[in-house]
Amino acid sequence: MQTEIVIAGFGGQGVLFAGQVLAYAAMDSGKEVTWIPSYGPEMRGGTANCTVIVADEEIGSPLVRHPQAVIAMNLPSLDKYEPLVAKEGTLIINSSLIERSLQREDLKSVLIPANEIAESLGDKRLTNIVMVGALLTAVPVLPLEAIEQALEDHLPERHKKLLPLNFQALRAGADLVHKEQIGQQS
């Protein structure tokens, strides 16, 4: 059992840290995990991404062509990864910055106005955590509590006062997906 997640966006959107939080949570949950950032030729245009793989056995390749889930924080990331997401995979889209609709019909997609949510919570640096909350609700590879623990353990000391806000952001992202799922069921 292996889940591959790509988180992509502009530099400064907390893309790499969001991936690390996932990786810490996976590690603390006793899973195998790899986190690998883009640092080479694909970093053109100020976009950043990282791949996180969570698995039950020794992980082979730290990179995959068709990740099962992608968080697209901005339009260039959606343009790049929409064609690459695995068949019937999941796209978590930051609808605050992305207006276009999806071209593929097989994908499970969730639109999250992450910037607005973060700003309503009072800090736009929370955008990434809103998206992580949404991801883990749509693709329940790790419990939200594991993320909370990871944030508590690994949020840089100078940001520790933001911990409650981070928890709120995580739940806000999760709630939106819950609502959508309930809406689809009814």
Partner 1 sequence: MAKELLKGNEAIAEAAIRSGLEAYFGYPITPQTELLEWLSKRMPELGRTFMQAESELAAINMVYGAACTGARVMTSSSSPGISLMMEGISYIAGTEVPVVLVDVMRAGPGLGNIAPAQSDYNQIVHGGGHGDFRPIVLAPASVQESIDLTVEAFELADRYRAIVVVLIDGSIGQMMEPAELPPMRHIDRQRPTWAVTGAKDRDRRILSSIYIDPENEEETNLRILERWKEIEANEMRYKEYYLEDAELVVVGFGTAGRVALSAVRAARAEGIPVGLLRPITVSPFPYARIKELSNLACGMLVVEMNTGQMLLDVQAAVGGKIPVEFYGRMGGVVPLPDEIHEEISRLCYEPVAPSADPRESWMDRMDLAKN
- Which backbone phi and psi does 51 adopt, to 5 degrees? -115, 130
116 touches partner 1 by CB under 8 A: no
Q: Does 157 bind partner 1 (CB under 8 A)?
A: no
CB of 77 within 8 A of CB of 51? no
Which residue, 4 or 82, is less far from partner 1 as judged by CB?
4
Taking the C-alpha atoms of residue 172 and residue 82, their distance in angstroms, rounded to an integer, is: 24
Whole-number minimum distance, CB 131 to partner 1, in Å?
19
Q: Judged by CB, which is closer to partner 1: 61, or 181?
A: 61
Distance CA 16, CA 36 (A): 9
Q: How far is the CB of 31 from partner 1 (least distance, A)?
A: 9
Give the footprint of partner 1 on residues 13-42 (CB under 8 A): 20, 23-24, 27, 32-37, 39-41
47 binds partner 1 (CB under 8 A): no
Does 11 engage in binding with partner 1 (CB under 8 A)? no
- For residue 39, the minimal CB distance to partner 1 (Å) is 5
155 binds partner 1 per the rule CB under 8 A: no
Q: How far is the CB of 66 from partner 1 (least distance, A)?
A: 8
Residue type, 173: G
The interface mask with partner 1, positions 65-104, x = CB under 8 A, is xx--------------------------------------
Least CB distance to partner 1 at residue 34 (A): 5
First CA to last CA distance, the chain: 31
Question: Which residues of the shown chain bind partner 1 in the complex (CB under 8 A)?
Answer: 20, 23-24, 27, 32-37, 39-41, 58-66
